[in-house]
Structure 1
Amino acid sequence: MKKIAVLTSGGDAPGMNACLRAVIRGAIYHGVEAYGIKYGYNGLIEGDIYKMKSYSVSNIIQKGGTILKSARSTEFRTKEGRKKAYQQLQRRGIEGLVVIGGDGTFTGASVFHEEYGFPIVGAPGTIDNDLYGTDYTIGFDTAVNTALEAIDKIRDTANSHDRIFFIEVMGRDSGYIAIQSGIGGGAELIMVPETSTSIDDVIFDLNQGRNTEKTSSIVVVAEGDEEGGAMEVVNKVKSRLKGKDLKVSILGHMQRGGAPTAMDRIIGSRLGLAALEGLLGGKKNMMAGIINNRVVYTSFKECINTAKPLEQDLLRMVKILSI
């Protein structure tokens, strides 16, 4: 390959810039021209593509977000949109593509590869850590630490006023942020999409805390829990917890922002270089991941269609440590 391009797509994640930097500088190291595509697949369709040099990615490793910007593309979901994208790549002589994103990004890449046989390798950039084929995704560690910092601060005010706080974290289909930040923050209860926690369970656990003379409690709720988000859960329990002051904090998109942690900078750099070198080595329609501290490659279809299980030991730990 003489020319490759890279894009970031879907939700932004801290560490994407570190990943991008590794792709660009890795390409230059290997004597390959590198191009950046702005605004994800939308930019690919519109031809928002420009050549990048080593200095193009200077001073970005510590920055959150993505300097290439990101977007979700409805046009790329159509055959006509993908045809335009292919023509843009052909016009510039680009021979391979690195995509940084999550399952939606990889779904689009997989369909594009099936239609045109175009070589694509992905790097997992999503705070949810929900992709099969890697132990950690880019942005997850930063999101957990952002949530943990908020939980620690909320704990202080909960203790001061003898309150029960229900804290909602991101995780529409995955409880990884909830379980990690909840354990780190000493939560009394953690509600995640992967396991069923009924309102009766919530009432029982909070009453158990009252029986052991706990004056405050923290409940961490993943936004995709089957009982609903934190506000819905509180509306269901408040009539059954008489005499307790219940509060809700929804952390929202703050979990996507901020300077990436050291771990996310290193993982982003490692996966960016792995995706680039996999592409140059002939891999296609695959995601670069890290399992047991080793780089591995997994097909997009397997990443998308295989559920990544939540570690049951972590859920057991919550029960033991919250007594």
Structure 2
Amino acid sequence: MALLRGCLCRSEEDFRGLLNLENLRLFSYKEIRAATNNFDRSNKLGRGGFGTVYKGVWGDGTAFAAKVLCSESEQGIKEFLAEIESISEAKHANLVRLLGCCIQRKNRILVYEYLENNSLDHALQLQANGATRLTWSTRADICVGTAKGLSYLHEEHEPNIVHRDIKASNVLLDRDYRPKIGDFGLAKLFPDNATHISTGVVGTCGYLAPEYFVHGQLTKKADVYSFGVLVLEIISGRRISQTIHSDMFLVREAWVLYQQGSLLDMVDARMEDYQEEEVLRYLRVGLACTQAAPSSRPTMGQVVALLSRPVCSASFTCSEVAPR
């Protein structure tokens, strides 16, 4: 798909000229508004940096998610274009499927498949409140599925894609708790010959890799770091936002416990029926992903392999404790 990067297109005609419409269905504002009951608050699924997501239901009973972007925001327009460019041609079981968009007048809406169990962040909140019980099997499947989605973006999709905002609220869960990566508004296409991209720092505090946060140097290893944080959240049952301002930041706590030989203390006390060696394997992979030096972190393809077989002690070192 050929989009004009940096183009501040405003009109419907401008957008139509930029989009390869063969890969997308165009929805009218009227039909989306009707399907969401005039964007009723009861249908609100969440809110991001540049828009609000609503649940809608078509006449045949099929549900969808409509991401309504702020039409007056220049950054919102850039996000709209970036999201379409990066995800419209990406097809993978662990990526949220983009169904189409609305580009009528000032309305900029992305239409996605609807996932019944909201986000991983929502599931972790319910777990913390005792409203649901995430089994080890479910947690392990979420880790592996998310890793496979990222591996596809980094290594199989052409051109490669760096997501830049991997976090619990951007991992959505279907009715069977299968994970799908969503929200590609900050994603970057990564040229084959590039070692890194120098860019402004965006993303979510707590998930940002140190080299990206400090120097603005973006590589695929920034997503790997974020994934490692995600693994620690999933296994501990604690959201990173709960620890970000504490002396024992979740990532640092995991490294300290690893060095003390007490890594199992990270495991959510509410989780039952798991094999300690298997959980330790996942925790070690999470630590490998959060090493301070990007070169020490595995690729996402390696992560998928490591999650699928026992990790030997030589698979990574803990010589570098990830900074706060």
Larger radius of gyration: 1
**TM-score higher than 0.5 here?**
no
TM-score, normalised with respect to structure 2: 0.26
Greater share of helix: 1
TM-score, normalised with respect to structure 1: 0.26
Greater share of strand: 1
Q: Could you say which structure has the greater relative contact order, defined with CA pairs below 8 angstroms and 6 or more residues apart?
A: 1
